[in-house]
Chains A and B, each alone.
Chain A
Amino acid sequence: MKVIAVGNSFYGDDGVGAAVLAHLEQADRGDDAPAWELVDLGTDALGLLEHLEPGRPHIVVDAARMGLAPGSVASFGPDEVKVRILADGLSLHGLGLAEAFGLATRLGKMPAQVLVIGVEPAQVAAGEGLSDAVAAAVPRVVDIIQAEVLRHA
């Protein structure tokens, strides 16, 4: 299992992925726990293309604007949702996960099993630290990931 976090921990709830990874790194796991690989993609969302390995299950954790209450957690496959293309088209800075998924699919590099765990943000603005609602969601995301890892073992 490969767990990939996307986002910027200096931009409020966009740092939820990094917070989840930090929890996973400190998780008390037994010696015989199934192996996982944790990847912090930071803000290089396009770099996802280099990390997707067909044939291996992946979990991608990111803040996602889904129209739900702040702190809500939803898991979905990239094909179950319409990911809006968000790039403003004016700069490389706009390229993100939507383009990475689009390119991976078109290039046949999309693994069969990709689970996206989205956390609805409360605030996305310059600043360190998560909002209370999103901080409370972190352990729930960790539980989902632990269960998925066991399910795939």
Chain B
Amino acid sequence: MSRDLGLENLDINVKHLTRVEGHGNIVVDMKNGVLHKAQLDIVEAPRYFEALLKGRSFHEAAIITSRICGICSLGHQLTSLKATEQALGLAVTEQTVLLRKLLIHGATLQSNVLHAYFLAAPDFLKVGSVIPLVATHPDVVLRALRMKKLANDIGDAVGGRAVHPITCVPGGFTHVPTADTLRLLRKKMVEQMVPDWLATVETMKALAGAIPVFERPTEYISLRSDGDYALYDGDICSTDTGRVPDSEYRRMTNEFIVPHSSSKHCKVSRSSYMVGALARWNNNHDKLCPEALQAAAALGLKPGCTNPYLNTVAQVVEAGHCALDAVAIIDQLLEMGPRYEKPNQEPTQFGTGIGSTEVPRGILYHEYTYDRQARIVKANCIIPTGQNLANIDDDMKKLVPEVVATKSKEEITSWLEMLVRAYDPCISCSVHMLDVEFME
């Protein structure tokens, strides 16, 4: 393939218009070898939830935000609880923090695994979706579903139910899993999840040759903590500028409006930055458990990685850490002896609080201001995908000129789609209705 494909002019317009608002279109416009446009157009539902939160009591905020989306419900819920607890001065116990960390491990595991198997693997195997893989690789699909189910079991055991957990409330938990429940969960994690994860690493290794080679150094931002691999809590950490407390989140997101997206874009030290598993890897690889680090070495993932396509590999590595650290947390809970503690719901102040948590796609921020009746007067929510949008555009602007001489339009389109998928953007959180056609 060469220039005789006529690719001095390249016009790519991948439309993903389906049912409703909230889908991304990839647009590339190149004329006479000059790139005029390479971007992901986002039409996202407006910030409806911020408006919906106004006037709500502190009991309701986490319930409402957890329903923003089935994929990210736990992340929104915990981030919301943290914001509320800080605003109202509600301290939580060590057991509450451990249970929440266990929940985050389950949610991260589930999302990372589904992403690798349902979005990335079909690309690497050059099939359109996961469905054809049932015929060609049934064991792999069944493994993915087994891992999803077991990750859900964590949510069921701790959260009362997996998708929109109900036991997790401001100030603690309304219900605590029994020692027996935790022991059973531990057994499943050790006997099923960890072996399945090791098999996942092998699958990823076999597919790694299909991962595009593309480098673009950018700023990587994630939480970082002095203790564990930061998912539940930490300072905001940038590969460019180091650590700051999460009270500086507005400066560390710096939202701005662009014409092609109804979702705001973000930048800090450069024109864009990346959040998510790869950013966490670059900032916190030293905090991963030894098994996860071994997997990273086997998969060729190195610190300071600048290939965004390797976000998927970072997710697989991180999934192992979540599985193994979940076992460690269960052991800690069992040693303490799980016991019911009344949730601390007596506000000691009424003000503003910020919650920041690493959800699968990156840092999620919620900020609430409460009045003296413990009702929300102001809410702000910055999702990871909004933070990644500028970075995706910058990746595209570097990628297209690099490959235009050597690849066909179809290949470039496929690489661009894979790039967007590597970030697993949250572009349609919302609606799950069927679209059917009656057969004659």
Q: What residues make up the interface of A, taking CB atoms closer than 8 Å to B? A: 6-11, 14, 41-47, 49-50, 62-67, 74, 76, 80-99, 102-103, 106-107, 116, 118, 121, 124-128
Contact = CB atoms under 8 A, between A and B. Distances in A.
Ranked 7 nearest A-B pairs via Cβ: A43-B70, A126-B48, A88-B16, A63-B433, A106-B134, A44-B70, A64-B434
A136 B81 CA distance: 36
Nearest to B14: A90
A96 B432 contact: yes
The interface residues of chain A, by DSSP majority, are classed as mixed
Contacts of A103: 130-131, 134, 141, 145
Given A47-B162, A92-B115, A11 B431 contact: yes
Nearest to A120: B433
A83 B430 contact: no
B436 interface: yes
28 contacts: A7-B431, A7-B432, A10-B68, A11-B430, A14-B430, A43-B163, A47-B152, A50-B149, A62-B432, A65-B19, A74-B438, A76-B438, A83-B436, A86-B18, A86-B435, A90-B24, A90-B420, A90-B425, A91-B24, A91-B420, A91-B428, A93-B426, A99-B130, A103-B131, A106-B134, A107-B138, A124-B19, A125-B20
B33 interface: no
Given A8-B430, A87-B129, A102-B131, A42 B16 contact: no
Contacts of B430: 8, 10-11, 14, 43, 126
A41 B437 CA distance: 23
Contacts of B148: 46, 50
B129 A10 contact: no
Contacts of B20: 124-125
Contacts of B280: none
Nearest to A106: B134
B67 A42 contact: yes
Given A9-B67, A47-B163, A14 B431 contact: yes
Contact of B433 (A7, A44, A95, A99): A7
Contacts of B152: 47, 50
B179 interface: no
Contacts of A46: 114, 148
- With a 10 A CB-CB cut-off, give which of B46, B145, B435 has the most chain A CB atoms: B435
- With a 10 A CB-CB cut-off, give which of B52, B115, B119 has the most chain A CB atoms: B119
B92 interface: no
A14 B433 contact: yes
Contacts of B142: 107
Interface of B: 16, 18-21, 23-24, 45-46, 48-49, 52, 64, 67-71, 73, 111, 114-115, 118-119, 128-131, 134-135, 138, 141-142, 145, 148-149, 152, 162-164, 417, 420-421, 424-439
A9 to B, nearest CB: 7
A64 B436 contact: yes
B19 A93 contact: no
A127 B434 CA distance: 19
A128 B48 CA distance: 10
Contacts of B19: 65, 86, 124
Contact of B436 (A6, A11, A81, A107): A81
A106 B435 contact: no
A7 B163 CA distance: 12
Given A45-B432, A64-B436, A89-B128, 4 more contacts: A43-B67, A65-B433, A65-B436, A118-B436
A86 B118 CA distance: 15
Contacts of A50: 148-149, 152
Contacts of A45: 70, 432
A81 B437 contact: yes
Contacts of A66: 436-438
B432 A6 contact: yes
Nearest to B40: A90
A62 B427 contact: no
Contacts of B432: 6-8, 14, 43, 45, 62, 96-97
Contacts of B69: 43, 93
B415 to A, nearest CB: 13
Given A42-B163, A90-B427, A125 B45 contact: yes
A95 B118 contact: yes
B427 A8 contact: no
A92 B421 CA distance: 9
Given A10-B52, A50-B149, A93 B427 contact: yes
B417 A91 contact: no
